[in-house]
Amino acid sequence: MAEVEARWAAKWADAGLHEADPEPGRPKFFGTYPYSYMNAFAHVGHAYTMSRVDFRARYERLHGKNALFPMGFHVTGTPIVAAAHRVAKEDPVQLRILRESGIPEEELGKFADPHHWIAYFPDKWREDITRFGMMIDWRRSFITTDKNPYYDRFIKWQFLRLKEKGYVRKGRHPVIWDPVQKAVIGDHDRAEGEGVAPQEGVLLKFPIEGRKGHHLIAATLRPETVFGQTNLWVDPSVDYVELAMEVKSPEGDTKKEHWIASRECAEKLRLQDLGVKTEVQSVSGKDLVGLVVTAPGAERKIPVLPASFMKTDKWTGIVTSVPSDAPLDFVALQDLKKDPAPLVACGADPALLETVAPIEIIDTEELGTLPAKAVVEKLKIQSQKDDERLKQATEEVYQAAFYKGRMLPHCGPVAGRPVSEAKEAVKEWLLAQGSAHLMWEPESLVVSRHGHQAVVKVVSDQWFLAYGDKEWKATTHEAFDRMEILPEVARKQFHIVVDWLRDWACTREAGLGTRLPWDEDWLIESLSDSTVYMAYYTVSHHLERLKPPADDLSPEFWDHIMLGKGDAEAVATKAVPVDEVKRMRAEFDYWYPLDFRNSGKDLLQNHLTFAVFNHCALFPEEKWMQGIAVNGWVTVDGEKMSKSKGNFITLRDAMERFGVSETRFAVASAGEGLDDANFEIDVAKSATRRLVSWLDNMMATWDRVAKAEDGEERGADRWFASVLNRTLQEVDGHMSRAEYRTALKVAYHDLGRDWSWYLKRTGDDPLPSLARQHVSAQTRLLAVFVPHLAEEVWHHIDGTGSVLDAGFPAADPTRIDPAAERQETYFEGVLDDIRNILKIIGKEPTKVYLYTAPEWKRRADGAIAAALEALPPGERVNPGTIIKALVSDPELKAHTKDVPKHVNLALKQGAGFLNQHRRVAGVDETAALKESQDFLTREFNAEVAVFSADDPDKVDPAGRAQGAVPGRPAVYVE
């Protein structure tokens, strides 16, 4: 088989079979796979997803379309650069990853250079994918970033135009930041805290009594609880700092203030651009204890008390205390009241404590109005050091308060409102008063690969794609409504994503990429430079051929190619003359819009949605994307693929181990729809003998029937003709809905089984014309899945052209014959009955007698069925009425005695009766069985006699014939 595959792969390459050029007037199909990131080899997951496009492209081509499937390679972003950097530093983990993917030891060093990655992996991908038989037009391939000046110009054009339309905007944006390296820490650069995002807290300012303009600051995640503040906590053993600030007021002007917070906090305030001017002095925590401050929101005087539970590197190092709703505050306060020594040690008056007590602010229903107290008592928390249980308690209080709680009447502007609303409202209210600011902190600990604890920096000149824009969203919704989405359930998901998508930070400081045309300090981020590049495929091969200076590709050039704006003459250059400009414009216009894009479901909420947004923004409606298909992850034998489990299979491994066609077969069988697909090793392994025997059988069958003439048509022939033609219709439907696994099941497994049954039924004597149709049709169906083998068979039976251009096997609807199929189903039912009897009596038969039902029962059943069908819904049959009607039928007069019994038997089956009656409609049971007598004799190795119960000469040693009913002949074996 490997020989067949290699031979055809070479021939296809020579003939340029997979290259597609515009053919005006011929319908086209343009399908794409989102180019993969080039930091590793292709694995079976990639193979699964790209095979969806390959199958579809082949299917469309069989249907006569001019099908284009191009593929590029993505290198934008930081991972390659970061990985190369790690190689340079001889990071053992990184080196092991490369070694394990099969890179020879002596070449490892080359990977210290990012450029080696972007040269090496695209080559390997192309090799693997070509061998895998993907129908790709490689002339159009390219890589991203400024390493490809043409693509670079294209992306610049895209961003320039997006900006003009107001879709690229500048704004502030929090990022996870390494304060020592002074760099953003992406997920892949983290030693700890993968997936952790910045979290917004509300920074509260507490004016110190008697010191105008001086504030202690504390942060809270629950601004709605400000009404319950009773005190502040500071750590007496810590040195805080006093900062001179220039703070933005809500009105927009700046105000000079002094803030006191932890030393670590000061750095964060700087990074977050909150207005730090200078550090005035260091302030001992001890000196802060005993001060009186005004609690913002509550506008109440509260004391500053000592505690030791807070960490100076979290938020401000000062904590506002709400003992009613914060278990930790409650416990700390309890402890301090029990033993005021720490307070006294700071020289403060223990009398301060007298006025401090929890204040009810929220009715949580299940936990009452003092939820912290309730939970602390419930969990029996004794100490403020009991971290584990305090965390649990806090979580429990929050759940109860946020989702079920209501603010009590004295809570100012939010009195009576649900906590879930109050939270946001209080935040806005405090901000508007100027008594609060926003501050960010990582949700949980993040440590960079350099070993530094991350903080949050607010980038102030960050560029965004305005996916939050209402009108843009509306247009995008419209596009999704019109698109073909497979599977259909994904459409709802897309609409949801469009709704919740916010502005997207689209620029980065580091990595590879295209520079923002108007602000060259910034690089366009990888999910943003890949949204409309499918359009670039339509001309990339021309640019590679002409090799113009990159400057020829002005924004106006792209306007003309992509949008048809302006004159070809105006954008033509020496290297790109007018006729070439026209050619490219025409080619874009021919292939666009994109008909189909297939990706894994992980890209649903970012890349795929972005792509539709951007198409809507840049292109006129008729060039919007037409179709998207989404597929699930790939598991191997039901387990998630992972290097550590040792079940990670690259595409080249798979082809090496199982073979090309086998891999394609297993990948097609792996799954469909949004559920995870399962690549089964056994399926891949056993595919060899399956496919070899398929190939041999097709060839042999063809040779046998190629020139033979048809004899008389038999029931089995009509049956198989019907099944075959119905199958062709079904497969067409499944393919069009991207149900490739089902398509393969029906086209290969089911049809193959039916064909075997047909051969068996006819004693290996198929009708030659039908056999020819079968071989020809199944070969063309399988050209989608195992093209090399199908090509081999096709060449054998036809010899001209590729199977890809042989046309999708059309069903002949006139050959679909439900009666013939009913007859076969009937016959199989009889077979089952006989087998069942033999199984129960447990002996080998020597003679089998079959008696079909007498005519009068058939007539009676017709009347019963009619009566049942005429029955108004909800009413029960009255057997008496039917019996009366039947006995008055002159045709049934002779059987008056047997009618009641028959009717009762029939009605006892309930709904089953009607089904069975319909199943044998139009079947001549006696003829059907007689025709199959030879078959039955072979099958049971016994003499088989068929009689009608009406036959006066029947042989009926056991008197069974009377038991025959229509559809269920009586059986007697001896």
Partner RNA sequence: GCAGGGAUAGCCAAGCUGGCCAACGGCGCGGGACUUAAGAUCCUGUCCUGAAGAGGUUCGGGGGUUCGAAUCCCUCUCCCUGCACCA
Footprint on residues 663-682 left by RNA (CB under 7 A): 673-676, 678, 682
Q: Based on the shown chain and the rule CB under 7 A, indicate whether residue 938 belongs to the binding site for RNA.
A: no
Site for RNA in 625-654 (CB under 7 A): 638
Find the shortest distance in angstroms from Cβ 859 to RNA. Answer: 20
Q: Compute the C-alpha angle 154/157/161, nearest 5°.
A: 145
Name the residue nearer to RNA (CB basis): 366 or 621: 366
Name the residue nearer to RNA (CB basis): 440 or 558: 440
Asked if 701 and 798 touch (Cβ cutoff 8 Å), the reply is no
Q: Compute the C-alpha angle 55/56/60, nearest 5°.
A: 120
Find the shortest distance in angstroms from Cβ 567 to RNA. Answer: 38
Name the residue nearer to RNA (CB basis): 813 or 912: 912
- Selected from 126, 795, 796, 960, the binder of RNA by CB under 7 A is 960
Q: Based on the shown chain and the rule CB under 7 A, indicate whether residue 683 belongs to the binding site for RNA.
A: yes
- Selected from 133, 358, 966, 969, the binder of RNA by CB under 7 A is 969
Tokens (6 digits) for 967: 């559809």
Site for RNA in 897-926 (CB under 7 A): 910-912, 915, 919
Give the SS3 label for residue 801: coil
Name the residue nearer to RNA (CB basis): 682 or 953: 682
Q: Based on the shown chain and the rule CB under 7 A, indicate whether residue 78 belongs to the binding site for RNA.
A: yes
Site of tokens 């003309």: 560
Q: Based on the shown chain and the rule CB under 7 A, indicate whether residue 45 belongs to the binding site for RNA.
A: no
Name the residue nearer to RNA (CB basis): 886 or 973: 973
Name the residue nearer to RNA (CB basis): 690 or 796: 690
Site for RNA in 242-271 (CB under 7 A): none
Find the shortest distance in angstroms from Cβ 745 to RNA. Answer: 6
CA distances from 64 to 27, 52, 84, 591, 806 (A): 8, 19, 46, 15, 9
Site for RNA in 883-902 (CB under 7 A): none
Find the shortest distance in angstroms from Cβ 737 to RNA. Answer: 11
Asked if 180 and 449 touch (Cβ cutoff 8 Å), the reply is no
Find the shortest distance in angstroms from Cβ 834 to RNA. Answer: 8
Asked if 361 and 372 touch (Cβ cutoff 8 Å), the reply is no
Tokens (6 digits) for 212: 């105008």
C-alpha–C-alpha distance, residues 852 and 871, integer Å: 29
Name the residue nearer to RNA (CB basis): 888 or 962: 962
Q: Based on the shown chain and the rule CB under 7 A, indicate whether residue 832 belongs to the binding site for RNA.
A: yes
* Contact region with RNA (CB under 7 A), list: 93-101, 129-137, 774-782, 955-963: 955-963
914 exposed, middle or buried (CB, 10 Å; 0-12, 13-18, 19+)?
Answer: middle
**By CB under 7 A, how many residues form the interface with RNA?**
83
CA distances from 372 to 151, 218, 396, 575, 882 (A): 59, 20, 9, 76, 76
Site for RNA in 539-598 (CB under 7 A): none
Asked if 65 and 29 touch (Cβ cutoff 8 Å), the reply is yes
Name the residue nearer to RNA (CB basis): 399 or 769: 399
Side-chain half-sphere CA neighbours of 536 within 13 A: 27
Name the residue nearer to RNA (CB basis): 403 or 518: 403
Asked if 600 and 630 touch (Cβ cutoff 8 Å), the reply is yes
Q: Based on the shown chain and the rule CB under 7 A, indicate whether residue 175 belongs to the binding site for RNA.
A: yes
Name the residue nearer to RNA (CB basis): 8 or 613: 613
* Contact region with RNA (CB under 7 A), list: 285-293, 363-371, 469-477, 496-504: 496-504
- Selected from 18, 46, 74, 652, the binder of RNA by CB under 7 A is 74
Site for RNA in 380-409 (CB under 7 A): 399, 403
Find the shortest distance in angstroms from Cβ 74 to RNA. Answer: 5
- Residue among 226, 598, 615, 218 at smallest CA distance from 439: 218
- One DSSP character per residue, 434-492 reads TSEEEEEEESS--EETTSPBPEEEEEEEEEEE-TT-HHHHHHHHHHHHHSEEESTTHHH
- Selected from 450, 492, 643, 884, the binder of RNA by CB under 7 A is 492
Site for RNA in 833-872 (CB under 7 A): 833, 835-837, 839-842
Count of H-run helices and E-run strands, the chain: 35, 32
Name the residue nearer to RNA (CB basis): 321 or 609: 609
Q: Which residues, at least 6 apart from 729, have a Cβ–Cβ distance to it below 8 Å?
A: 811, 813, 816
- One DSSP character per residue, 204-231 reads EEEEBTTSTTEEEEEEES-GGGGGG--E
Alpha carbon of residue 79 to chain centroid:
23
Tokens (6 digits) for 331: 């416990």
From residue 507 to residue 546, what is the string marking binding to RNA with x (rule CB under 7 A)?
-x--x-------------xxx-------------------
Site for RNA in 741-770 (CB under 7 A): 745, 749, 756
- Selected from 207, 412, 593, 963, the binder of RNA by CB under 7 A is 963
Site for RNA in 708-727 (CB under 7 A): none
Name the residue nearer to RNA (CB basis): 620 or 912: 912
Q: Based on the shown chain and the rule CB under 7 A, indicate whether residue 96 belongs to the binding site for RNA.
A: no
Query: Helix 879-887 and helix 899-908: axis angle, to 10°?
Result: 140
C-alpha–C-alpha distance, residues 336 and 338, integer Å: 5
Phi, psi of 400 (to 5 degrees): -65, -45
C-alpha–C-alpha distance, residues 725 and 817, integer Å: 9
Find the shortest distance in angstroms from Cβ 847 to RNA. Answer: 10
Name the residue nearer to RNA (CB basis): 245 or 820: 820
Name the residue nearer to RNA (CB basis): 164 or 602: 602
Q: Which residues, at least 6 apart from 380, have a Cβ–Cβ distance to it below 8 Å?
A: none
Q: Based on the shown chain and the rule CB under 7 A, indicate whether residue 974 belongs to the binding site for RNA.
A: yes
Q: Based on the shown chain and the rule CB under 7 A, indicate whether residue 971 belongs to the binding site for RNA.
A: yes
Give the SS3 label for residue 305: strand
Find the shortest distance in angstroms from Cβ 78 to RNA. Answer: 4
Site for RNA in 186-225 (CB under 7 A): 186-188, 195, 197
C-alpha–C-alpha distance, residues 416 and 158, integer Å: 50
Name the residue nearer to RNA (CB basis): 66 or 727: 727
Find the shortest distance in angstroms from Cβ 860 to RNA. Answer: 18
